[in-house]
Amino acid sequence: MVNSSSGAENAPANSKFYASVIDLVGSKSFFSSLANLLEQVVAYDGLIVFLYDSKNAPSSLGCFKCAMDFQSGLENYLKYTYVLNPVYRAFLGNIAPGAYLITELMPEGYTEQVANSELRIRIEDNEVIGYRTPGWPKNMTDVLGLIQLPGEIMIEFDFITSQTDDQTNQCLKSLNSIFPVLASTVRKHFEVTPQDREVGNAKPSHEDRFQGFGKPVLTSREQSVVKMILTGHSSNSIALSLGISMPTVKTHRRNVYAKLNISSQAELFNLFIHSLVDSAA
C-alpha cells in the first residue's frame, strides 16, 4: 500500500479539478461524472465502483470505459465469485482505507499459482467463469482506492490498467495523490444522499456458504485448508499460515479430494461455485 497521505503534497495544482469533484456531491450522476473527472488525473483503461456491505453481496455503483466489455464477468463476480476475491476477503479483514495494488492483497504464492494454472470454473454447460484475479479482464491489472464508510461499508474504486509497470505505477501514484480529496468527497456524498447505499442489485451474502463449505464431511482443519485453497493460497502459504508441515498439507488435500469425491483443484473450485449457484436457485 502507498500511504494515502504521503502524496498529498504532490497533488495536482489544479483547483478547478478539486472544485469540480466537490461540486458533484449529492448529484444524481455522481459516479459517472466523477469517473470522467478522474480520467483527467488517473490514467486508467476501465473503472468499476463497488459497494461492499458486510450484510450483503457486493454491488456495482458504476462501470466505465473498457470495463463495460466485461458485463458477464462482472455479473458472475457480483453473484458468486466475490467470496473468493482478495479485495472482498481484505474488506472482511478490516483493511485500512487507502490506495493499493491488487497484488498487495493476494496471499503468498497466489500470483505464481494463477500464472501456472488454467483454472476454468464451469457454472453451467453454457457459462464459464475464469478464476484468475487479478487477470480479469485478461492481461490487465487493478489499482484500488478503498474508502471506508460508517456501518461496515466500503467503497472500492477499481482502476483497470494494462499490465505494464509504468502505467500501473503512474496510476497508483496519481490515485495516491488525490486519495484524500476523493475519499472525503465520497464520504460526504453518502452523508448527503444515504439512499445511494440502498442499491437495487444488492443480494444476500454467500459468506456463510464459504465458511461452511464441506462442513458435513470435512474436519475443521480440512475446512481451513479448503478455504485457503479457494482464496488462492499455495501449499507453502497454507503450511506457514496454519503452522503445519508441507507433507501434512498434502495429506489434508488428498483427504479433502477423497471425501468430496473429486480429483483436482479445478474440480474443487467447480464444486464450490456449484454450491453457490444451487443455493441461489
- Pick from 2-11, 23-32, 46-55: least confident: 2-11
Same domain assignment for residues 178 and 253: no
By CB atoms closer than 10 A (0-12, 13-18, 19+), residue 45 is middle
- Full residue range of the structural domain in which residue 45 is found: 8-197
Same domain assignment for residues 79 and 20: yes
Q: Which of 130, 164, 197 is the last residue of a domain?
A: 197
Same domain assignment for residues 29 and 149: yes
Amino acid, single-letter form, for residue 165: D
Alpha carbon distance 19, 232 (integer Å): 42
pTM, two decimal places: 0.83
Is residue 125 in a domain? yes
With beta carbons less than 8 A apart as the criterion, state whether 24 and 185 touch. Answer: yes
Same domain assignment for residues 247 and 153: no
Residue 260 has pLDDT above 70, yes or no: yes
Domain of 226, CATH number, reads: 1.10.10.10
Q: Which of 147, 172, 197 is the last residue of a domain?
A: 197
Same domain assignment for residues 93 and 127: yes
The helix/strand/coil state of 138 is: coil
Top mean pLDDT of 102-106, 178-182, 267-271 is at: 178-182
Predicted confidence at residue 106, as pLDDT, reads 85
Predicted confidence at residue 130, as pLDDT, reads 32
Q: Which residue has the higher pLDDT, 280 or 132?
A: 280
Is residue 1 in a domain? no
Same domain assignment for residues 95 and 29: yes
Same domain assignment for residues 244 and 178: no
What would the pLDDT profile of 129-154 be if each residue is shown by its tens digit?
334 433 345 667 889 999 999 988 99
Q: Which of 197, 224, 242 is the last residue of a domain?
A: 197
What would the pLDDT profile of 216-254 be if each residue is shown by its tens digit?
899 999 999 999 999 888 899 999 999 999 999 999 999
Average pLDDT for 184-190: 96
Q: How many domains does the chain have?
A: 2
Domain of 19, CATH number, reads: 3.30.450.80
pLDDT band at 111 (very low <50, low <70, confident <90, very high): low
Q: 233 CB contacts (<8 Å, ≥6 apart)?
A: 107, 108, 109, 110, 241
- How far is residue 172 from each of residues 101, 111, 152, measured CA to CA in Å? 7, 19, 25
Average pLDDT, the chain: 83
Predicted confidence at residue 280, as pLDDT, reads 59
With beta carbons less than 8 A apart as the criterion, state whether 95 and 155 touch. Answer: no
Average pLDDT for 193-203: 70
Residue 50 has pLDDT above 70, yes or no: yes
Backbone angles phi, psi at 168, to 5 degrees: -65, -45
Same domain assignment for residues 39 and 106: yes
Residue 2 has pLDDT above 50, yes or no: no
Same domain assignment for residues 185 and 261: no
